[in-house]
Amino acid sequence: MKIEKIYKKADAYLEGHFLLSSGKHSQYYLQSAKVLEDPKVAGKLAKALAKMIHKSDIQADTVCAPALGGILAGYELARALKIRSIFAERVDGKMAIRRGFEVKKGERFIICEDIITTGGSALEAASAIENAGGIVVAFAALANRGFCKRAGSSQEAKPTCKLPNDVPFFALDDFEFEIYEPQMCPLCKAGSIAYKPGSRGN
């Protein structure tokens, strides 16, 4: 699936000078909320992702998404898979399962994000599920930013990928662009200042 085309069409492939949540800088930013604001597009993407998961014979009972970014993608994936959907959220900086969501012992979970970069938040959500007695059978995202290895891709994971290599990761496409350490950032060197996506209305 041509994820890049879909993001560009939705004006969700932003160009500028961005400060990412990891502290790194990038010229581009993927604003998934803009893609998922159209339920038809969200449904179509989730169906394609569900199809990949079905084909691999992964059986899951529930989708869990790290809030906020993963919730819409996770909910649509759960709809496509006809399973339950919950989310994990940060409480005092730590990912937790709240709101009365239950995790049964041995319940099988797919952790779903909008985009997986290094997989940090997804891994934290997975730990919250495992600590509550659940089993993480897969990770999923609409797109892989190219740091982790997605199922079916010949591209290997980079050392910065935080996802475990013994749990499959499903994504519709790879979506790669450079990110920089602030001190190495060519945009900073050219004199501009990085800003957080969302802080200027995007």
List the x/- string, 114-143, binding to Zn ion by CB under 5 A.
------------------------------
Give me the helices (H) in 58-148, please: 71-81, 120-131
CB 141 within 8 A of CB 73: yes
Helix axes 39-55, 71-81, angle to 10 degrees: 60
For the bound state, the minimum distance from the C-beta of residue 184 to Zn ion, rounded and expressed in Å, comes to 9
Closer residue to Zn ion in complex, CB, 101/195? 195
Tell me if 188 contacts Zn ion by CB under 5 A. yes
Cite the beta strand spans of 73-195 per DSSP E: 84-91, 94-97, 108-116, 135-144, 169-174, 179-180
How long a stretch of residues is the chain? 202
Closer residue to Zn ion in complex, CB, 20/41? 20
User: Cα(21)–Cα(132) distance, rounded to whole angstroms?
Assistant: 26
Segment contacting Zn ion by CB under 5 A, of 54-62, 141-149, 154-162, 189-197: 189-197
Integer angstrom CA distances of residue 94 from 91, 101, 137: 5, 17, 22
Q: Which of residues 158-187 bind Zn ion (CB under 5 A)?
A: 185, 187
Tell me if 194 contacts Zn ion by CB under 5 A. yes
For the bound state, the minimum distance from the C-beta of residue 113 to Zn ion, rounded and expressed in Å, comes to 24
Segment contacting Zn ion by CB under 5 A, of 4-12, 24-32, 73-81, 155-163: 24-32
For the bound state, the minimum distance from the C-beta of residue 198 to Zn ion, rounded and expressed in Å, comes to 17
Tell me if 25 contacts Zn ion by CB under 5 A. yes
In the structure encoding, which two tokens stand for residue 196, read together? 């957080």
Binding site residues, Zn ion, CB under 5 A: 25, 185, 187-188, 194
